[in-house]
Structure 1
């Protein structure tokens, strides 16, 4: 069985591509029912089209308020048959109506080690703050910004004198690994939320053995294929 998902994007869609690559490799048990962008003409829509995935642009500018836009999203996601929602660089807050439509099944990727540096330009915030470690977080979405229970995090050293762009590129490499992994755990029904804690129940897949990542710390650890 595969989990039908909808993917929301606002830009280039590199994390969407990471999901597609794992899906087509047969290690990610999802089907992408639709890709929705709130901004027309972005590269992520081209990525979906290249792989024969139904995509659509639903501009938030066509709606008078956030609540009405959420209703448009919910209708489109349900019409496409999505049972879970993945925010892959979606630069809009989602509200209670969408969260209620997909309870416990909305995931987001954020390029910082939450709860540090929520919101926009997280890599810039980290670089300007002079942190020693930076990274990314996959979490459940709630009604606050970058706040929901954390599923998996990956950390890399923040090098002295390194700007936000270079740091962001290294973080992005980790995003492409941990995001599909978290989505797979969701598809397998292995995520239990206990207050602020997310417990990943044991599965049958062994831990990853490939060693092609730069020095980093990922927890929970990646499994084979991710």
Structure 2
């Protein structure tokens, strides 16, 4: 409580105005019941909320948040996400840096992908995903030794990029075309038939839109998946 009051005074607010602003921020960030406790006894999520609250003492037009959820548990991370949404909805422009692509997907209206210090791509989440494919097929095999064979078959039968995943039994295909739902079913069905004819056993499969993680790897032209496949061969 005293930290927020002090910051308010340093920003030129009167004592009464600084007190009101501190009360408002503590209530907005669900910290009122802990206002009298030393900050040293706060959890990581509470400290992060207090940090963000302190930056809003002067109601800025532009707010920089540098990896605000690093090290937080899932519950605290979700609370910070909600705070960021409320801040943006109130009219403040938020520039947020993060290594969590799910966070960028959840919060950002526009995303800049930075690779080696340079912007590799920029756009909305949907635009970035659409640049790497229209759908993603995830497969999990019964036998990891069959993965090279499965990759060859999928590369031959599907219009996209087939690549191994970190799991030695798994692989992913980014479909490069924009087929409708019927075409997707036909393409995937044909690929599954080819795999079955070749004796490749499938434990599980799922089809969905590309994730932002997959878009990041494709847009930054990382070769980690190929290197991993070579190491496992």
Judge same fold: TM > 0.5, yes or no.
Answer: no
Q: Point out which structure has higher relative CO (alpha carbons under 8 A, 6+ apart).
A: 1
Structure richer in strand, relative to its length: 1
Q: Which band: TM-score by shorter chain?
A: under 0.3
Q: Which has the higher helix share?
A: 2
Higher Rg of the two aligned structures: 2
TM-score for the superposition, normalised by structure 2 = 0.23
